[in-house]
A and B are shown apart, each in its own frame.
Chain A
Amino acid sequence: MRYPIYLITILFILLSLTLSACSGAAASEVSRVTPLPTAVDATATPTVASTPTPTASPTLTPVVLTTADGAATPLPLSNDLPEGSAAAIAAATDIALKPTVENRLTFDQSPVPIKFAEFYEKYDIRKGLILTDKLVSLDGQTVTMEGYMAPPLKSALDFFVLTRVRLAFCPFCSSAADWPDDIALVYLVGDAVPVTIQPVRVTGRMEVGISHDEETGMVSLVRIYADKVEVLQ
């Protein structure tokens, strides 16, 4: 099987989990709000700390285990997800690559707003996507992001893929080549939310680092454990 990456895997997961998942959960965490025009862009100018400070470190430090062959395998940030597909997917991940940050940023507000455009410095042909200091510094921090729900396969979700632009195609249905880089995997800490084609604002703890599950082959770079999902109208 030569198809890499997560989308076909996610398709399988979705298909299998759809059968068992309870889709009637109340959407109590969803609030409908009118977005402030610059609500997300305006604030939190990051400042570069001369040296990393203890307070700037993620509040939840990844646990490092030693595997049989002696290699260190960082685990993802702990989560308290309710039982369901999000918990299953989050549990299936282990952080194989955790980016190191040279210029760790501190932020004067929480949650910290971040946009997809702030994820990557650039695409380096040989090194791939170069993550911004801001993104890497936000590992473990509470963030807020706006985007769209990728077209899912069921009507209520306890996890979804947040995308920069509204995707016309169901990304789970097309080939790996069509899956954009500007995505975040969102796990819902609260109840499931209904699907919407409106833009959404997600608030929660961010986890950064390539996460690769050996069993399913699922790979993701940015994950958010969302306490709150707001539909923007």
Chain B
Amino acid sequence: MSKRLLTVYRLFAIGLILAMLLAVRPASQATAQQEAPPVLILPIDRATFLPGAMFDVRIEVHADELPADFAVTVDDQDATKFFGAKATEESWEFGPEEGPLTPVQSLVWRELSFSEPGDHTVAVTAGGETTQVTWSVLEPQNAGAKNVILFIADGMSIAEITAARMMSRGNTEGKYNGAFAMDEMEEIGLVHTSGMDSMITDSANSASAYNTGHKSAVNALGVYPDTSAETTDDPMQETFAEMVKRTRDMAVGIVTTANWTDATPAAVFAHTRRRSDQNYIAAEPLDDGLLPEVILGGGSRHMLAQDTPGSRRDDDRDLFTEYEDAGYTVVTTAADMEAAMATPPERLLGLFHSNNMDVWLDRNVYTDNITADTDQPGLVEMTTTALDVLNQNENGFYLQVEAASVDKQMHPLDYERALADLIEFDEAIAAAQEWVQANAPDTLIVVTADHGHGFDVYGGVDVEAFNAATTDDEKRAAIGTYADAGYPDYVDADGDHFPDSWVVKRTMAMFVNNFPDYTEDFQVSPVPRVPAIPSDPEDDSSRAVDNPDDDPNGIPLQGNLPVAGATTGVHTMQDVPIFASGPGAEFFGRVMDNTEVFFGMADAIGLDPSAADGLAVAATK
């Protein structure tokens, strides 16, 4: 690891620990001794579990040695006795490069589980002070679903859906001329997205919450973050996919338009403190034995042995061959994928790009921007292909589908590229709904985002007037608000739900609430957008300045992000929408924490990992 990164992680870890300690202290039974060392208990206070779900426990005491009175109890019983296992003792130091380093004494228990529902209090006494957390093991439910499909549009907010619907369906006299597939689902709710370290989440943290039912921190997947520098020793939480495979022998599928080892898809199976460990993540299914029946997306560069030109691996493993040896049919083009489905394989690995797949707008309109030499399938084909493979398993399946580039294009303020991928996301939902209707009505479909971007539309822009204007004031006069906003004139004559042309006379005044210094012309960019660049090309943390090549005709906007290094927009805090249809959908018709999404999916299929067959009591309906 680079020292710079290490320092960042260490500083982050310190901040995280301090924050957690502050949060925990008031609940602790303070008995005076000032020397009591800081204590960290993972899982955190108010963590929730399914009975039988596997998890690790880590206790950290930040001291040179464990105090003489050190004790860990669960429900007032010695922890070793309660867990039926002795902890492994570990120690390390952490802190900033320049010091001082904090010594850590730690106990870790691996692969524990609770057999029964109920609450448990874990108490750690050290230096005369007791720190305690309470965990709740919830009662499994069963709504009678057989399969679960979780759709995640990365970075999708309600306003993005609204703008995409305006582009896709059009609106006449205030009424939309059609609805999105997600609009017509049975239930809608809101999801809180904050993580344990920050009110603003990243995609690893949030997808981890959906897949494990536990909070985590920015950059972490399937683990609680401890303070050790090692990124793969953090206490793990079993994922939904691991549980349904281990206890029910269900099939698991991952579909994404990103690297398949990127944060959101990796959250299905990965356990690491650092989402950028993509080489490690690419081999994890092979090494851990959770082999998803379907993997479709990009990211072949993390599969090639290091001596292969274009590889990003740092070892000699040829993962394509290893996956083939593990029984996968490997495809690399849309045509090959279709051909392979003549007889659906048991396991399908389809990677169509060295990195993130190209976005809809570039694949279909601005094709000069395509960065792959292969014909790439779209999200719709990948989704229905995955369903056809997964449905061969009579025990049911869990499929997670991600539209990754809604987020990846919203970051550089490339709104048309983001919204086109959002429309494609909705097309994939429509295709899945149709497939479910025809093939497996006992399927829960959940549609959500993992976090939002501060996007909205505040008016309409007369493009001709804007482009003819010679001053910034004249350009701003071309932006109509309220009654002068009017409607954009996107046309979808061919009925494919995408605008026939992205160059229109009247566009929407689209913006996000956080941005660098940049210029905005409110028109589709024929090349992928780079709104701002570092002022010092030798230093990517230098002041971010407007990119003179991007929207040179636009109005200059004074940024409101930190000036150092922030060349693109960032995630925001807002709750994100969640939609659901099918057995168990009613769970989602409310406001909830992101960790609850896991339990909604579990309850839908009656997942009880403590039962011999992994099945909760008979379906409640």
Residues of A participating in the B interface, judged by any CB pair closer than 8 Å: 1-5, 8, 11-12, 96-97, 120, 122-131, 151-153, 166-170, 173-177, 181, 197, 210, 212, 217, 219, 221
Contact = CB atoms under 8 A, between A and B. Distances in A.
5 contacts: A122-B373, A126-B300, A153-B538, A173-B4, A177-B278
Interface string B277-312: 111100000000000000000001100101111111
A152 B536 CA distance: 12
Contacts of B354: 123, 125, 128
B370 to A, nearest CB: 12
Contacts of A174: 540
Contacts of B313: 4
Among A97, A122, A128: residue with most chain B CB under 10 A: A128
A3 to B, nearest CB: 7
A205 B591 CA distance: 66
Contacts of B55: none
A146 B609 CA distance: 62
B537 interface: yes
B309 A129 contact: yes
Contact of B540 (A4, A122, A152, A170): A170
B2 A3 contact: yes
A176 B314 CA distance: 11
A4 B312 contact: yes
Contact of B330 (A126, A167, A219): A126
Contacts of A8: 2
Contact of A210 (B309, B353, B530, B540): B309
B162 interface: no
Given A122-B373, A124-B373, A173 B539 contact: yes
A125 B377 CA distance: 14
Nearest to A210: B307
Interface string B366-377: 000000111000
Contacts of A177: 276, 278, 312, 355
A176 B538 contact: no
A166 B538 CA distance: 11
A169 B1 contact: no
Contact of B1 (A1, A123, A152, A217): A1
Given A151-B538, A170-B538, A2 B308 contact: no
A191 B620 CA distance: 80
B310 A123 contact: yes
A174 B537 CA distance: 12
Given A2-B277, A125-B300, A174-B540, A181 B307 contact: no
Given A123-B354, A125-B351, A125-B352, A181 B537 contact: no
B314 A11 contact: no
Given A2-B277, A168-B533, A217 B314 contact: yes
Contact of B307 (A126, A131, A212, A217): A212
Nearest to A174: B540
Interface in B328-375: 330, 332, 351-355, 372-374
B48 to A, nearest CB: 31
Contacts of B332: 124-126
A170 to B, nearest CB: 5
Contacts of B320: 126
Interface string B514-538: 0000000000000000100110011
Contact of A2 (B304, B311, B314, B372): B314
B300 A4 contact: no
B373 A173 contact: no
B10 to A, nearest CB: 16
Contacts of B280: 2
Interface residue tally of chain B, by bracket? Answer: 35 or more
Contacts of A96: 307
A221 B304 CA distance: 15
B69 to A, nearest CB: 39
A68 B306 CA distance: 22
Nearest to B351: A125
Contact of B534 (A129, A169, A221): A169
A173 B2 CA distance: 10
Contacts of B330: 126
B325 to A, nearest CB: 14
Contacts of B541: 173
A62 to B, nearest CB: 16
A122 to B, nearest CB: 4
B300 A3 contact: no
A25 B540 CA distance: 28
Contacts of A210: 307-309
Contacts of A152: 538
A221 B309 contact: yes
Contacts of B300: 125-126, 128
Contacts of B1: 1-3
Given A1-B1, A11-B2, A125-B374, A170 B537 contact: yes
Contact of A4 (B4, B311, B353, B355): B311
Contacts of A175: 276
Contact of B314 (A5, A173, A181): A5
A125 B354 CA distance: 6
Contacts of A166: 537
B475 to A, nearest CB: 26
A128 B309 contact: yes
A173 B540 contact: yes
A168 B533 CA distance: 7
A99 to B, nearest CB: 8
A131 B2 CA distance: 31
Contacts of A126: 300, 304, 320, 330, 332
Contact of A123 (B307, B372, B538): B372
A204 to B, nearest CB: 21
B309 A5 contact: no
Contacts of A176: 312
Contacts of A4: 279, 306, 311-314
Interface string B175-202: 0000000000000000000000000000
A5 B530 CA distance: 26
A170 B541 CA distance: 10
A151 B542 CA distance: 13
Contacts of A219: 306
B537 A169 contact: yes
Contacts of B231: 2
Nearest to A167: B537
Among A4, A96, A130, A175: residue with most chain B CB under 10 A: A4
Contacts of B301: 128
Contacts of A12: 2
B306 A123 contact: no
B540 A128 contact: no
B105 to A, nearest CB: 26
Nearest to A8: B2
B272 to A, nearest CB: 9
Nearest to B533: A168
B274 to A, nearest CB: 8
A122 B300 CA distance: 14
A135 B353 CA distance: 23
A176 B313 CA distance: 10
A147 to B, nearest CB: 15
Given A125-B374, A128-B309, A173-B4, 8 more contacts: A2-B274, A2-B277, A4-B279, A129-B308, A131-B309, A152-B538, A176-B312, A219-B306
Interface in B3-47: 4
A121 to B, nearest CB: 9
B308 A127 contact: yes
A111 B421 CA distance: 47
B527 to A, nearest CB: 13
A181 B373 CA distance: 14
